[in-house]
Amino acid sequence: MRWTVLDSPIGELSVAVDEVGVCGVQFGPVAGAARADAEPVPGVGWLPAALSQLRSYFTGELTDFTVALSVTRGSDFERAVWREMTTIPYGEMRTYGEVATALGDPGAARAVGVACNRNPIPVIVPCHRIVGAGGKLVGFGGGLPRKRYLLELEARVALQRAWG
């Protein structure tokens, strides 16, 4: 696994890749990680694609990540939640309860929240699209200002695309 730090509008993001795909995204720098803006960025497997897609996402050019993911941890339930997150369309939100219901367990809203908090690949696996009942902004490992930024970015881009 190799970590690289990418500057983004929500602060530094550390991105990890392995031979299979992106295996981690963390808010802030990871000790010993290379800087993405250093020249040259080594072409380690999925790293160039991951960095390029994240940059394009933050400029509003990319709405669907296609980089391969490498998820090697998490319970079966957590993995199901993370998979469900990837089905939430860009610019849309679901509540924790709606995700729990989609997984066949309407009473598991809190467990969905725990799984969101344990998401190893935030932004790419869009846990920020999951909100509390009534659309309330709650629970985001990167902090609510980052969650708000990501949701506002997606809403703005979706609106621009809809209205041309």
Catalytic residues: 127
Helical residues (DSSP H) of the chain, grouped into ranges: 47-58, 76-85, 96-102, 109-117, 144-163
Residue type, 160: Q
Q: DSSP string covering 48-71, please?
A: HHHHHHHHHHHTTS-SS--S-B--
C-alpha 6/C-alpha 146 separation (Å) is: 15
| Angle between helix 109-117 and helix 76-85 axes, rounded to 10 deg | 80
